[in-house]
Structure 1
């Protein structure tokens, strides 16, 4: 392997980007965070956020990005869209290597250390996956607003209906409705409509903590129960597709802890703490890519064609 490589693992979604910088031996040098880099939010903003995170990671060790030395492993929301992925690659800086997979795959790698397992990633969006190194079966992850069940955006989109109805007098203007409105900055029908017209999946996902904080409220509690049901359905779908049913399951992402208790039995009994996170899985991608590059360099030219 080229001992001059620097490895960058990138985990990018609708709420933010996390970066880990490692040396040629795979030793972690620094970590950083930046803005959202899910591809659904735009290719140029995605690269801006990734470059900002990488620059911060290098700055933490007193340097600047040396792109020709860097091998990037990226786990990105939206990478399963071929058009977005192609555009993302076209806008890449001059890198030593780049490998891009869905954040579901990198989450799977990180959570089970490359061993067989199941993950349900619950953040701004959601997706479930099962498999191991070199193999990944995905369920869900169709995106906002039609998919991403049990995600932050899914919860927020459904929760805001309660605030709308409260403003109209169709349901009581209770503490839950007022908390949702406070989060949006709206105070009446017109100002809420303005917020709704510009709200992104990230904006809806920011309402999820309010839902969780009001879990004793009938509507919030029902939403959280339905989120648990959706998680179980994703796991069940992966079970039926695999030859290895009842694999260990890791809930991952910002909503994992909060939604754990709402996963129905017997799926809840299969839940395990993840060994690592998506950014660590992305770092594994970068390291595997470096090995592949080294093998290619060592092949005779006739075999590289």
Structure 2
């Protein structure tokens, strides 16, 4: 009997799914953050933890565990030195294959075939597989990249709020909602900015969307600018050879209604999730239906 283990390790959580040769799920695991930024040793511990949970749930013996072929999608694996460090990690499996979390998400979304995903969350990045070649578009990090993302929305909202406090632009419900969080005090905003990162700005994205949907003129302009970037992302995905595209990420459902109808018509629903992609990376192929 052969077994396949898929792991999706991201900045928020780490998940594992263990299946048998017929594709039946026999064990799962769940843990906390497990991206490359937490360090190789903590990452190894997090991966082993969710894998051990899945193996224990399946009731596999040590001999059976040694036959497992594993595929692991890990956020931040592209950072210098990470792949080399991962190669030295010990797992009690027959084989382990590593990839980025975006790559396994893309494999899952398109059943292992060619296609692309555009992830719109705190950041933004496209993962593409065209003619069997995998590559990314964007995703270079905030604030230089991440166009159309939650962090970009939040940054634009804070800029608008500071201008409104200065009197350089008309205050709107959005600017007032942002500055209210800081007692309408510029000094407090600046102090917050000193330590704020993409995630902090991204937390303001729902506020921007709420006010845009309530017809705040500035909020609408911020969202409409983000939409231009998202639509250009999608155009580029197809220009570079993708035949299928799926919109994903926490902000995607709220952005989708703002896209042009012709853009939405080009999008396709995902066929599976990132764990399906990780299992495909491990070498699992679903039996063909005759």
Shorter-chain TM range is 0.7 to 0.9
Q: Map of 1:25-40 to 2, 5 A cutoff?
A: 25=21, 26-29=23-26, 34-40=31-37
Structure 1, gaps ≥5 residues long: 290-305
Do the aligned residues in 1 keep the contact of 2:26 with 2:58 (CA within 8 Å)? no
CA–CA distance in 1 between the matches of 2:49 and 2:158? 33
For 2:121 and 2:237, locate their aligned partners in 1 and report how far apart those are by CA, in whole Å.
19
Q: CA deviation at 1:109?
A: 0.9
Q: Is the 8 A contact 1:10 1:72 kept in 2?
A: no
Q: Aligned partners of 2:178, 2:140: CA distance in 1, in Å?
A: 26
SS in 2 for 1:261: helix
**1:113 Cα deviation (Å)?**
0.9
Secondary structure at 2:155 match in 1? helix
Within 1, Cα distance between the matches of 2:195 and 2:111? 40
**In 2, Cα distance between the equivalents of 1:218 and 1:84?**
45
Contact 2:117 2:127 in 1 (8 A): yes
Instruction: Output the TM-score relative to the length of structure 1.
Output: 0.74
Shift of residue 250 of structure 1?
Answer: 0.8
Post-superposition shift, 1:226?
A: 2.0
CA distance in 2, matches of 1:232, 1:126: 12
Correspondence for 1:200: 197
Q: Does 1:248 align with 2:247?
A: no
Q: Secondary structure at the match of 1:270?
A: coil
| Equivalent runs, 1:247-286 vs 2, <5 Å | 247-286=243-282
1:74 alignment counterpart: 72
Separation (CA, whole Å) in 1 of partners of 2:41 and 2:206: 29
Describe the shift of the 1:69–1:134 C-alpha distance in structure 2 as closer, same or farther (beyond 3 A): same
Judge conservation of contact 1:116–1:131 (CA < 8 Å) in 2.
yes
Three-state SS of the structure 1 residue aligned to 2:168 is: coil
Q: CA 1:132/1:27 → structure 2, altered by over 3 Å: closer, same or farther?
A: farther
* C-alpha displacement of 1:157: 2.4
Per-residue CA deviation, residues 14-45 of structure 1 (Å, 9 max, x unaligned), is 4x124132133343345565444443565566
C-alpha separation in 2, matches of 1:147 and 1:278: 24
Cα distance in 1, alignment partners of residues 34 and 256 from structure 2:
26
In structure 2, the residue matched to 1:302 is none
TM-score normalised by the chain length of structure 2:
0.78
Displacement, 1:253? 1.5
Asked if residue 189 in structure 1 is aligned to residue 186 in structure 2, the reply is yes
| 2:247 match: secondary structure | strand
Q: 1:224 to 1:40 in 2, by over 3 A?
A: farther
CA distance in 2, matches of 1:217, 1:174: 7
SS in 2 for 1:20: strand
